[in-house]
Structure 1
Amino acid sequence: MAADRYEALHAAFRWQVPADFNIAEACCGRWARDTPKATAVYFDSESGCRAQYSYAQLQRAANRLSNALLNQGVRRGHRVAIVLPQRFETAVAHVAIQQIGAVAMPLSLLFGAEALEYRLQDSGAVLAIAACDALPALREARGRCPALRRVIVVGECPVDCDELPWMEALQAEEARFQRVVTRADDPAILIYTSGTTGNPKGALIPQRALVGNLSGFIASQNWFGFDPFHIERPSDAVFWSPADWAWTGGLMDALLPTLYFGRPIVAYQGRFSAAKAFELMAGYGVTHAFLFPTALKAMMKAEPNPSRHGLKLQALMSAGEAVGDAVFGWCRDALGVPVNEMFGQTEMNYVVGNCQALWPARPGSMGRAYPGHRVAVIDDDGHECAPGQVGEVAVHARDRHGAPDPVFFLGYWNNEAATQAKFTGSPADSWCRTGDLARMDADGTLWYEGRADDVFKSAGYRIGPGEIENCLLKHEAVANAAVVPKPDAERGALVKAYVVLADGHAGDAALVEALQAHVKARLAPYEYPKEIEFIAALPMTTTGKVQRRVLRLQEQQRAAQAA
């Protein structure tokens, strides 16, 4: 059992954020100069293609892309969409965009045309870097995105006359580039997050947010030497996570922090499977990983004796949903690595969790605030709750020493009202609400109690009902719709839709399939309703708002009765 150094670590911790900070320099530039031959990315794929890239190769490719972006009219502050899977070019794109002071906007390959169109329109993205797989949906959306000037295509596939192949774009440019100077508060990344109602909101992430992520990353990966107050990165560390690099979990919890410490990350382009997970970890000597509970459950069921793979795993982080006692025990006993659970949001990521090397974890808990973050459970009026009282998890804009916490987002893109509503007062000096309910023990340990709103997690994906409901309402057979989570042992929850039919339509199996296909074609595959129930009327408040809570509780009661 680890000694509990939690309080001493927090008391001694101070943020050290330089006035000038650039993610490209921190994650690549300095390593390309100091350790140019060190491996940055191991690439592996379902097709059998494998490659290894150094930090010098990453820097040269990024320099060429930065020059190409400037020649395409991209300037400082412009938004550039990245619609790519885990691969070397994705890392290149992020470094190149940061070098010119533009804003990277990662988008999932799973997005359909409608999901892409909204984000491209709302952000005013001027250029997209996309994989061949994303082209059909991107081409469909592009005609309604007037700001989008050009698409750079990664991969071997036919391109339209106004699309530019990746290799052609890079080969025409010099491998030298002088990056711009950016301030720590300058915008760096725009990530869209699903909300309860309406369209997704774009969270604008500053350069400094990467620094704000580091204390949590270090703690959750047990990257400490004998003296916990001096960070030591393991010289043999190799990182891997199946988390999509288009999401906060894959980008800010895996790719960027790994590169920040000059270590290699494994990029796997393909579908997740338990067998492949063990193969990758064994083959590349993975020492540190981030695995969703859903992935860990699949691995636990598939492999009762993981020791036969000769894994080198030293630390493991999990997030997205509760791990549970069974998985926690399997990680500890079968993998030989107790899992460090973590909690965070796109707006302020990596703020709560565990570090088995420095303080004992309690299975089933969310953990405690990571160093540098001030976390509390608050009531509706913004006051801190007593120990054991259920309230909303909140993170203060300033740490316990009164210094600004660098992890915070700059605000929602073109949505000042939503930004203000996120805080209890001034965004510079107040609590920021997470929308998650929990209770806190006297020692700061948090225990999850559910969502304060209607957002939920399914297989690690954050599902906002608003976008799915809006999509369903565009079908002629739908008069109204409400989306809620249906409890599921494997995924945590399934997406379920309650649908009120329009006049003249029958709720049969054929319509269920049609509605599912309707959503699949426009949004991401993980968002389509796995189950649809037709209902005469939705439960409503007196002011005409859908009471999703009533339907959610109904699903919970049905699940309990079935069990």
Structure 2
Amino acid sequence: MTETASHNMTDYEETYSTFSIAVPEYYNFGFDVVDAWAKKDRNKLAMIWTDQKGKEKYFTFRHMMNLSNQIANMMFKQHIGKGDRVMIMLPRVPEWWTFALAAIKIGAVFCPSPCILTPHDLKYRINQGKFKMIVTDSENAWKIEEILPDCPTLSVKFLTDGGLPGWINYQTELVHPARASTRLIPLARTVRTKATDPMLIFFSSGTTGEPKMVLHTHSYPLGHIVTGRFWYDLTERDLHFTVADTGWGKSSWGKFYGPWMEGACVFVYDYRGKFNATELLPLIEKYEITTFCAPPTIFRMLILADLKGFDFSELRQCVSAGEALNPEVTRVWEEATGKTIYEAYGQTETVAVIGTFPCMPNKPGSIGKPAPGWCVQLHDDAGNEVPMGEEGKIAIKTKDPKPVGLFKEYLDNPEATSSVFVNGWYYTGDKAVKDADGYFWFMGRDDDIIKSSGYRIGPSEVESALIEHPAVKESAVVGSPDAIRGVIVKAFVVLKDGWKPSDELAKELQNHVKKTTAPYKYPRAIEFVDDLPKTISGKIRRVELREREMRRYQELHHGDSE
């Protein structure tokens, strides 16, 4: 099979012009996908789970069906039903999947939540979303105990791995735990969900301000046909590994809806605490992973390892999303493994909207072309399409037809909703440029774009140039206030082991950027740091660095900049 051959899309233009997803009136991912695979083939593998100690568990779709039915019955018993809101805060353990499926089946609205949240974060989210039930483990239960008096809607508490006073012990509630997953247990009552009913709340990882509640309906998994079939290029025979944490949107793409819509098996590596990206390489080899998805941060760490020492012969498709992937990373990975990394673009509010698909030539650094089923344009501030080669706001057409997988609204926040849905378009808040071949190039969040000396500079371009230098492990680029130029480009740089910060190195990096990209983009200031501020989902918080620079500037000028 050649590198560019694809199982599912052989001609991009043809697929783009003919593809559509039929959304039935009633739809439920639990019954219509997971249970359907279970009934079609009782031995069909849904998940291979392993942890850092090498413990393994295998689950078929039949196990998933039976376990989720039992949990659904437990939820009925606690008077949780259609429309009730359930928060699931669990690490990468199988119960995350079975509880999520149970919630979907009974029409409850569930919300995945990262385990790194503090009691303060959780209190805000539980009260914002009026959650009635929480599912967590003994390691995180204290956070809920601490805020319980301040969360009046929270009445049902499930513990997946033991007992605590006031909590329901999931293990003891199971019918014959030893054979719980193989005994067919019917649902205590039937529930039907319309495709338009609410199913899922994500809290947007918000690189600025308080997170918003993104509401998706039961049609959302259907939207991930595009993610799974075209971008991951999955078939029923694949074993797909997405590294993401269960607490945020990307895990739904690659650990849940995307692969299972296509009948592929998901691989789960449950790591806690200290994590070395290089732990993933022996797993890819041992389990013969066929398709692999990781954020740029992880690919940047993986290329530091001796990749030639591993057997990647089964690995067919590598993809990355979440932030711009530096072309240098793609080059090193491809040289060592023979595999290209295909990028895509999407948000918590969408599925994969723009992507490089295996049947297309890959342009390192580009996010690709609009996904089938999505009409994407770049607009100016007046809502007109910008000419080719000019930067514009990424805008998604919202009707005729409405793209499947686009969120419904920001829950209880009509202002935020109406600010992004304008005249039949959804504005993502991101900027991009389109080239002559129709490929999109991501420039950054609207508020990350640096305007300096009359130029507009996208931070990711400068960061990509920096990372090509052998000394640079990671970098973040922001606009820093400057008395003469208004704003200058400033880079925060994390060095690789063995390199020491110095004025000479800073100068060398500046010259390197001038040579690699347009000279006006080079960082006039470089600060060496030990690490970069990141969101819980691993994206760099440039806003924090910008605010730091603003404070520094104001202190320097003793407030006379007012």
Match of 2:360 in 1: 359
Deviation at 1:485, TM superposition (A): 10
Asked whether the equivalents of residues 281 and 311 of structure 1 are also in contact (C-alpha less than 8 Å), the reply is: no
Asked whether the equivalents of residues 115 and 524 of structure 1 are also in contact (C-alpha less than 8 Å), the reply is: no
Distance in 1, Cα, partners of 2:332 & 2:192: 47
Asked whether the equivalents of residues 322 and 539 of structure 2 are also in contact (C-alpha less than 8 Å), the reply is: no
Match of 1:49 in 2: 55
Aligned in 2, Cα 1:47/1:150: closer, same or farther, shift over 3 Å?
farther
Deviation at 1:17, TM superposition (A): 1.7
Distance in 2, Cα, partners of 1:489 & 1:523: 19
Aligned in 2, Cα 1:368/1:150: closer, same or farther, shift over 3 Å?
same
Deviation at 1:65, TM superposition (A): 0.3
**CA-atom RMSD, angstroms?**
3.3
Match of 1:293 in 2: 296
Paired letter, 1:114: H
Match of 2:442 in 1: 448
Match of 2:186 in 1: 176
Equivalent residue for 2:411, pick from 409, 413, 424: 413
Asked whether the equivalents of residues 216 and 371 of structure 1 are also in contact (C-alpha less than 8 Å), the reply is: no
Aligned in 2, Cα 1:284/1:78: closer, same or farther, shift over 3 Å?
same
Paired letter, 1:300: I
- Alignment partner of 1:103 is 2:103: no
Paired letter, 2:240: F
Asked whether the equivalents of residues 28 and 59 of structure 1 are also in contact (C-alpha less than 8 Å), the reply is: yes
Q: Deviations over 1:489-541 (max 9, x none)?
A: 689xxxxxxxxxxxxxxxxxxxxxxxx9xx99x9899899799676484899x
Equivalent residue for 1:164, pick from 163, 168, 172: 168
Asked whether the equivalents of residues 431 and 446 of structure 2 are also in contact (C-alpha less than 8 Å), the reply is: yes
Paired letter, 2:28: N
SS in 2 for 1:295: helix
Task: Give me the TM-score of the superposition, normalised by structure 1.
Answer: 0.77
- Alignment partner of 1:14 is 2:20: yes
Higher relative contact order (CA 8 A, sep 6+): 1
Q: Deviations over 1:210-251 (max 9, x none)?
A: 21122133222234xxxxxxxxx252x101121012211111
Distance in 2, Cα, partners of 1:485 & 1:146: 46
Match of 1:82 in 2: 88
**Which runs of structure 2 are paired with 1:334-413 in the superposition (5 Å)?**
334-356=336-358, 358-398=359-399, 402-413=400-411
Deviation at 1:336, TM superposition (A): 2.1
Deviation at 1:486, TM superposition (A): 6.2
Aligned in 2, Cα 1:70/1:324: closer, same or farther, shift over 3 Å?
same
Structure 1: runs of 5+ lacking an equivalent: 224-232, 464-483, 492-515, 541-545, 548-563
Match of 2:34 in 1: 28
Q: Deviations over 1:434-476 (max 9, x none)?
A: 1111111243211111211359999xxxx9xxxxxxxxxxxxx
- Alignment partner of 1:189 is 2:200: yes
Task: Report % sequence identity.
Answer: 25
Deviation at 1:35, TM superposition (A): 1.3
Distance in 1, Cα, partners of 2:17 & 2:212: 35
Deviation at 1:57, TM superposition (A): 1.2
Match of 2:100 in 1: 94
- Alignment partner of 1:423 is 2:424: no
Deviation at 1:331, TM superposition (A): 3.0
Distance in 2, Cα, partners of 1:488 & 1:187: 43
Q: Deviations over 1:256-299 (max 9, x none)?
A: 22122222211211144233201221222210111111111111
Distance in 1, Cα, partners of 2:386 & 2:91: 42
Match of 2:526 in 1: none
SS in 1 for 2:344: strand
Asked whether the equivalents of residues 82 and 107 of structure 1 are also in contact (C-alpha less than 8 Å), the reply is: yes
Distance in 2, Cα, partners of 1:485 & 1:243: 30
Match of 1:120 in 2: 126
Match of 1:439 in 2: 433
Aligned in 2, Cα 1:239/1:421: closer, same or farther, shift over 3 Å?
same
- Alignment partner of 1:136 is 2:142: yes
Distance in 2, Cα, partners of 1:524 & 1:290: 15
Asked whether the equivalents of residues 293 and 318 of structure 2 are also in contact (C-alpha less than 8 Å), the reply is: yes
Asked whether the equivalents of residues 191 and 202 of structure 1 are also in contact (C-alpha less than 8 Å), the reply is: yes
Deviation at 1:117, TM superposition (A): 0.8
Deviation at 1:310, TM superposition (A): 4.5
Distance in 2, Cα, partners of 1:114 & 1:9: 47
**Which runs of structure 2 are paired with 1:303-318 in the superposition (5 Å)?**
303-306=306-309, 308-318=310-320
Q: How many residues align?
A: 472
Match of 1:207 in 2: 218
Paired letter, 1:435: G
Match of 1:220 in 2: 231
Match of 1:560 in 2: none
Distance in 2, Cα, partners of 1:454 & 1:112: 27
- Alignment partner of 1:274 is 2:277: yes
Deviation at 1:184, TM superposition (A): 1.1
Distance in 1, Cα, partners of 2:428 & 2:538: 26
Task: Give me the TM-score of the superposition, normalised by structure 2.
Answer: 0.77
Distance in 2, Cα, partners of 1:132 & 1:490: 38
> Which has the larger displacement, 367-376 or 523-532?
523-532
